[in-house]
Homo-oligomer: A and B are copies of this chain.
Amino acid sequence: MTSASDLASLAALLADETRAAMCLALLDGRAWTAGELAAHARVAPSTATGHLHRLIGGGLLVERRQGRHRYVQLAGASVAQLLEDLAARIEHRPASPRGLRAVTANSAMRRGRTCYDHLAGRLGVAVTDAMTHTGLLDQTSGFALTTAGLAWLTDTAGLRPEDLRPGKRPLARGCLDWTERRQHLAGLAGAKLCETFLGNDWVVRIGSGRAVRLTLNGKAALRDLLGLSDVN
Contacts and interface: CB of A to CB of B under 8 A. Distances in A.
Contacts of A39: none
A5 to B, nearest CB: 5
Interface in A1-56: 1-2, 4-21, 23-24, 41
> Size band of the A side of the interface?
35 or more
Given A78-B89, A93-B59, A172 B142 contact: yes
A140 interface: yes
Contacts of A81: 85
Interface stretch (A143-151, A195-203, A213-221, A224-232): A143-151
Interface in A115-146: 138, 140-146
A205 interface: no
Contacts of A83: 7
Nearest to A4: B21
Interface of A: 1-2, 4-21, 23-24, 41, 59, 78-79, 81-83, 85-87, 89-93, 102, 105-106, 109, 138, 140-146, 149-150, 166, 170-174, 178, 187, 189
